[in-house]
Amino acid sequence: MTGLGDHMQQNSLVLFSQGLITKEQAIEKLGLRDYAELLVAMGEADLPLFTLPDDELEKHANLLVELLSQR
């Protein structure tokens, strides 16, 4: 692909990397077969996978611990 197609593909990868679209949306927009192909595309574009900020991860972990302790 060249021009607009490359831009649209890069944009979908960036949106996924930023957590703004789901992996399913990214796979569909990019016309990929599966998550493995999406991971390859992310690596080739030198983009990181989306992760939550540390404070958000800590909140989620604390909630999980609380929920599991109630079992």
Structural domain boundaries in the chain: 4-69
Give the tens place of pLDDT for each residue, 35-56.
999 999 999 999 998 887 788 8
Task: Work out whether the CA dihedral 61, 23, 36, 10 comes out positive or negative.
Answer: negative
pTM: 0.67
Quote the DSSP letter at residue 44: H
| pLDDT above 90 (res 26) | yes
Taking the CB of residue 68, how many other CB atoms lie within 10 A of it?
8
